[in-house]
Structure 1
């Protein structure tokens, strides 16, 4: 995967985290909560993926939305 990309699709999110660790429904729930919608596509910022992998997802709850998304 190209780490330079800032946004990942739900399937790319599952591939990075591990499909055995993150089910399809949970991945879409995360994308709806933390991601952005471009047209019909749900995309997840890579910063959110990093937070999931590092076990810091709770920190995103405390962070203002713009900062968590890297804006």
Structure 2
């Protein structure tokens, strides 16, 4: 997914497209983006490595030991 010419940060719409819009709804895509993504100004972006981890079934590797859910 990180091939030259590919975006390393995906918008929420691109995240849904990569995971399958029929499998991931808008609310779930935003929940994933809030938890694993970054905010640049008003934009919420998700690293492509998160999409790769979800597709490969290894999302737990992205969790930091000892850290609970991020709060505001």
| Structure 2 partner of 1:41 | 43
- Residues 11-56 of structure 1 show CA distances to partners (whole Å, capped at 9, x for unaligned) of 0000010011111101000000000001101000000010011111
**1:19 pairs with 2:18:** no
* 1:51 corresponds to which of 47, 50, 53: 53
The two structures have a TM-score, normalised by structure 2, of 0.79
The answer for unaligned runs of 5 or more in structure 2 is 66-72
The two structures have a TM-score, normalised by structure 1, of 0.80
* 1:61 corresponds to which of 36, 60, 63: 63
d(CA) in 2 for partners of 1:62, 1:38 = 22
Q: CA RMSD in A?
A: 1.6
- Of structures 1 and 2, the larger Rg is shown by 2
- The count of residues paired between Structure 1 and Structure 2 equals 62
